[in-house]
Structure 1
Amino acid sequence: MLLHDYLEGYASKAPDTLFSEFNSRTLTYKQANAIANQFASALKNEGLSKGDRFTFLSKNSDEYALMYYAASKVGIVPVPLNYRLADAEWEYIIDNSDSKIVIVRSEEFVNRVHGFKANLPSVNKCICIDAKAPDDSWTDFYDWTKSQSEENPQEDIKDDDAVYQMYTSGTTGRPKGVIIVQSNVVANIGQVDKYIQRIPMPKNLLVAPVYHAAAAINHFGTIAKGGQ
């Protein structure tokens, strides 16, 4: 079992079931899977290969919830960034991870990243969500993904392939990237299932930031049950 198998499974057998509600937008499992597929295809068509990194910076959003599944489908590794860090810390993590793409949600965060993006030699593309692009070096997320395929990618993803690279707090030095693989995530989902197994199609109010493992794992466990 792989992380994206849960989303694809419910998109096939319960396509009209609600996946998420965020602000004024609701997504069914079918719609969520289609957006994740477009996201995954956009990453591939940008030249990223299995094992390559991209950074995602946002407060909680439905795009954030879908990002992990999109990346899992093609084996491209997201680096979820703590939005509470200082600019110099963001710059260090993006550079240290060799991220090739930076995806940023909100005008505030976009403008802050724009201020140091010239110092990021590995970054080839900057994507903004719900924000005005500071200049033509930035591309809108939905312009970037809208022409991509909505079909499930056919990639050879294995249990020991990375799902995401999360950075430690760096309290005793520089933050360090920790790689979480597919089998880790599936084991975590099994642990979450122990306390929600009696709740069919659970609803999960995501309050904790999804850049943190605790929130991400609870989200994964909810989707693994066909919940919202």
Structure 2
Amino acid sequence: MTTFATGLGETMQVSLGESITMTARAQPDRASFLFPDGSHHTFAQTNARVNRLVSALRAQGVGRGDRLAVFALDSHRYVEIVLAACKLGAVYVPLNYRLRRGEVDVLTARARPTAFFHELRYAEMLEGIGEQHGIPLVLALDERPGESTSGYEDLLATGSEAEPPVVAGDRDVVGLAFTSGTTGLPKGVLQSQRMMKAIVAEQVIEFRMLPEEVRYTAAPTFHITGVCQLLAGVSYGFTSLVVPQFDPQVTLDHLAADRLTGIFMVPTMISTLLRLDGVHDHDYERLELMYYGAAPMSPNLLRRAMDTFRCDFLNAFGAGTEAGLQALLGPEDHRRALAGRPELLGSIGKPAFGVALRIVDDDLREVAVGEVGEIATRSDMLFDGYLEMPEETAEATRGGWFRAGDMGYLDENGYLYLHGRKKDMIVRGGENIYPVEIESVLAEHPAVVQCAVVGVEDEHWSEVVRAWIQVADGVEVTPEELAAHCAERLAKYKVPAEFRLVPALPINASGKILKRELRDWT
């Protein structure tokens, strides 16, 4: 075993990058990744490709601590970059592929990557990004029509399949994920190998994974939920279906053909699936677990899903980017709900394995049972701070407990119930939206005097974005014009679904807009 200069403790650790090596040795011919066309890669093939990428990147001068940005849909190549970063001791930087160029520039300037990997579908939008940000290596992951190789595959061809030495330990940061992507200073979440390993282990335990399974996570790889479930498959030796992005018909086809034993989706995806023709025509005999999270699920939608798929259900809750899994409502609780405890379907369960959870007031004092407060947790799944933001890090971890602003209460049986958010974050279909980002963009429009963005309940998306606009006197503007203004500057999912034009917005004595009143306006 390779030794470290940082002490005996790290020499005894197993790097996250070694997980693919160990699985490839134990199960070389088992499929690591299954693709929609029925083809697959084995664990041995995946490990060989990762090693070649590590070797090729080292030859390009990429090493420990360097950052590798990825702007792409899900693919085996995406996971290979993550695993190569783990073996290199480098840091992968997952970027939301829905972002616009201005948003990407903000994050790239913060991350300062050494390499930038992207798909050709985004090449025009990303044109010149290497020169603009001084990135030495910019490569396309996929091939152009009629070409047999890509920049990525050409790079791999120069590398060696020999197993590289272990150079990273638990203290090393392996992921830099951004919680926000537009105006203002985005928060870059530093995710260590310790954190990622803990989340992977937690998922194996709590999501009841087994080596013989075939699972699919519809969470994208740029989300920690998506990447850690893929890493769980790599670490534990089960097969993962990899689809570029969630496709309800492809998902239904795999479920109906009894290829999947487990699947993770957000509620909007489940809702979409249930509207497809033929969804009720199958028995789904191999499907054992459907687990969901990232947004609230209405009891009505959950019951429809349980009646249709007739498998176990599990609700996972967590401030994933910074804190991994925090609580879950397990299959047994779902069965209890159907057997006469329907109120349980409104709960997000109990603290997950290894998670200390409290409900606290503003002074971090634990509140009484049934009293609403802020959810605070401690576990091995916590992040290592925000990039170059010590004050924000200190506030989020004040008193040794992480708080994401989620409000809730515990009942007398220890079940956790959400009660909104301390801040005004909107969750649309599992995507976090920060109103200030949209408000800043709207404020740039010459017709806008004041604006406020709030979330409103929606049966399909859980929440959608509504913008309240006070228009300048004598100026005419339509909702369509405002939507086009936002669409040019924001990812599509952040563009408000509704624009309400009003003579004035409610404000308090200090001039602050009263969003709590806007939420009651119709």
Q: TM-score, normalised by structure 2?
A: 0.40
Shift of 1:72: 0.3
Once residues 198 and 81 of structure 1 are traced to their aligned partners in structure 2, the CA distance between those partners, rounded to angstroms, is 28
Change (3 A) 1:198 1:102: closer
Once residues 44 and 116 of structure 1 are traced to their aligned partners in structure 2, the CA distance between those partners, rounded to angstroms, is 22
Q: Give the corresponding residue for 1:136.
A: none
Q: Give the corresponding residue for 1:44.
A: 58
Q: Indicate whether 1:114 and 2:96 are aligned.
A: no
Q: Give the corresponding residue for 2:98.
A: 84
Q: Give the corresponding residue for 2:235.
A: 224
Once residues 67 and 168 of structure 2 are traced to their aligned partners in structure 1, the CA distance between those partners, rounded to angstroms, is 16
Deviates more, 1:193-202 or 1:216-225: 193-202
Contact kept? 2:106, 2:181, Cα under 8 Å: no
Once residues 43 and 83 of structure 2 are traced to their aligned partners in structure 1, the CA distance between those partners, rounded to angstroms, is 12
Once residues 132 and 94 of structure 1 are traced to their aligned partners in structure 2, the CA distance between those partners, rounded to angstroms, is 25
Superposed counterparts of 1:153-172, under 5 Å: 153-170=164-181
- Which 5+ residue runs of structure 1 have no aligned equivalent? 134-138
Q: Give the corresponding residue for 1:143.
A: 154
Superposed counterparts of 1:61-210, under 5 Å: 61-105=75-119, 107-121=120-134, 123-132=135-144, 140-170=151-181, 173-197=184-208, 199-210=210-221
> Aligned AA for 2:137?
K
Shift of 1:12: 0.8
Contact kept? 1:40, 1:73, Cα under 8 Å: yes
Once residues 37 and 5 of structure 1 are traced to their aligned partners in structure 2, the CA distance between those partners, rounded to angstroms, is 11
Once residues 107 and 198 of structure 2 are traced to their aligned partners in structure 1, the CA distance between those partners, rounded to angstroms, is 27
Question: Between Structure 1 and Structure 2, whose CA radius of gyration is higher?
Answer: 2
Once residues 181 and 85 of structure 1 are traced to their aligned partners in structure 2, the CA distance between those partners, rounded to angstroms, is 25
Shift of 1:99: 0.5
Shift of 1:116: 4.0
Deviates more, 1:28-37 or 1:44-53: 44-53
* Aligned with 2:34 (options 21, 26, 37): 21
Once residues 140 and 179 of structure 2 are traced to their aligned partners in structure 1, the CA distance between those partners, rounded to angstroms, is 25
Change (3 A) 1:90 1:170: closer
Shift of 1:186: 1.1
Change (3 A) 1:142 1:23: farther
SS, match of residue 38 in structure 1? helix
SS, match of residue 204 in structure 1? strand
SS, match of residue 215 in structure 2? coil
Shift of 1:2: 2.1
Q: Give the corresponding residue for 1:3.
A: 16
- 1:66-98 CA-partner distances (Å, limit 9, x unpaired): 221111001011111110111111112122111
SS, match of residue 205 in structure 1? strand
Contact kept? 1:110, 1:131, Cα under 8 Å: no
> Aligned AA for 2:83?
Y
Once residues 183 and 102 of structure 2 are traced to their aligned partners in structure 1, the CA distance between those partners, rounded to angstroms, is 17
Q: Give the corresponding residue for 2:322.
A: none
> Aligned AA for 2:163?
N
Q: Which runs of 4+ in 1 moved over 4 A?
A: none
Shift of 1:227: 0.6
Q: Which has the higher helix share?
A: 1
- 1:156-208 CA-partner distances (Å, limit 9, x unpaired): 21110111111112588332211111111111112101134463332221321
Q: Which has the higher strand share?
A: 2
With CA pairs under 8 Å and 6+ residues apart, which has the higher RCO, 1 or 2? Answer: 1
Change (3 A) 1:197 1:86: same
How many residue pairs get aligned? The number is 221
Percent of counterpart pairs with the same letter? Answer: 26
Change (3 A) 1:190 1:87: same
- The Cα RMSD (Å) is 2.0
SS, match of residue 48 in structure 1? coil
